[in-house]
Amino acid sequence: MTRKICVITGSRAEYGLLRWVMQGVKDDPELTLQMVATGMHLSPRFGLTYQEIESDGFDIDRKVEMLTESDTPVGVAKSMGNAMIGFADALDELRPDIIVVLGDRFEILSAALAANVMGLPIAHIGGGDVGRGTYDNNFRHCISKLSSLHFVTNEDSKLRVIQLGEDPTYVFNFGSTAVDNFQLLRILSKDELQNSLNLKFEDDVLLMTFHPLSANPGTSLKQLAEILNAIETLRHSRKFTLILTNANADSEGMGINEVLRQYAKISTDTYFFDDLGQVRYLSIMKLAKVVIGNSSSGIYEAAYCMTPTVNIGNRQEGRTAPASVIHCPAKSEEVVASIEQALKFKMVGIDMVYGSGNTSTQIVKVLKKQILQRINIDKKFYDFGRS
């Protein structure tokens, strides 16, 4: 009898970090992959990205519709309630031996809560990271406490998960699954990318992703205004193409996307995309001179593209980052100075803090071993620092 591993994903970015774990499970004859798509994957305003999962050859066993039309805090809380109901039904029908989740999204917390109540063990990828300005930071730690297996991305995060009371025996640092993409995906050439997007990149490319600060209502659009002012200031001295991507579904995300969509309409060489897809996104990142904004992709992935990052504001504050990440506050003049600094940055001798790849393969090996040994979800609290 094969063991069933259920992977749950709610966003394109998250799927990009889970893809090769899913493939490893699918390819193992002693394991059965179950797939649940939810959240932004199922939303037309985020590009119906579940279709990308299917085009990669995966069957989606269940779709959990949960997003409301509102991205206010009340709307997000109601979406979480919808998710709990949907996951209860889906997991009851699928009855996996373990579920695999990644990161810190609110829909993933709902999935973990449902699984915990139903007595299903959880493997969490990406625990122990820190940040500020969003409720994701709290959600991430909650998901870790609900989980029995932990696959962290760096040593700092490993220590934090143990500090949360998790047994070190079940905390594994194999690096980030993001690195696997650069070993297993074929990144598009400049010509291929231009043909795919129907664009011509005559000048340097800047890639920007800006997500809401859900824990600080009202600040997201103010920070975005400072960043766009900085972009306009830069245009006075240099020519470049600006690629803008969708914000996530957190509170104020729709407002950010509308501002960016309108800005792209009136600004020279500026393009807004609801969904680039994983390959095109990483291909633009590799082509870009600088990644700007507050997305974790600028921390995790950009250095492996040999592209510096300007990380703006406090959303990623405290997250382990390579030397190619330049941090700055969301003040127009400082954003300008930081982008200028990044444009001159030499990607030489950078310590790749998120590992050297083959992460997904190692995760699948541990999942298989632990499932065969029957994971006990009745955990003891590990007192960090005590003998």
For residues 69 and 33, the model is more confident at: 33
What's the mean per-residue pLDDT of the chain?
A: 92
Q: How is 271-290 classified by DSSP, letter by letter?
A: EEES---HHHHHHHHHH-SE
pLDDT classification of 387: cutoffs 50, 70, 90: low
pLDDT classification of 373: cutoffs 50, 70, 90: confident
Structure-block tokens of residue 245: 């991507």
Distance in angstroms (rounded) separating the CA atoms of residues 326 and 314: 12
Give the chain's domains with CATH numbers. 3-174+358-372 (3.40.50.2000), 186-343 (3.40.50.2000)
Asked whether 71 and 253 are in contact (CB, 8 A), the reply is: yes
Choice among 56-60, 144-148, 209-213 with the minimum mean pLDDT: 209-213
pLDDT in tens, 230-272: 999 999 999 999 999 999 877 788 899 999 999 999 998 999 9
pLDDT in tens, 16-27: 999 999 999 999
Distance in angstroms (rounded) separating the CA atoms of residues 369 and 373: 6
pLDDT classification of 367: cutoffs 50, 70, 90: very high
Asked whether 366 and 172 are in contact (CB, 8 A), the reply is: yes
pTM (global) more than 0.85: yes
pLDDT, residue 248, reads 84
For residues 206 and 252, the model is more confident at: 206
pLDDT in tens, 149-192: 999 999 999 999 999 999 999 999 999 999 999 999 999 999 99
pLDDT in tens, 58-81: 999 999 999 998 888 899 899 999
Mean pLDDT on 347-364: 92
Phi-psi region of 312 (alpha: psi -120 to 50; beta: other; left: phi over 0): beta
- Tell me: pLDDT of 348 over 80: yes
DSSP 2: P
For residues 321 and 71, the model is more confident at: 321
pLDDT, residue 184, reads 93
- Of the candidates 181, 186, 191, 193, the residue with the CA atom closest to the CA atom of residue 271: 193
Asked whether 256 and 220 are in contact (CB, 8 A), the reply is: yes
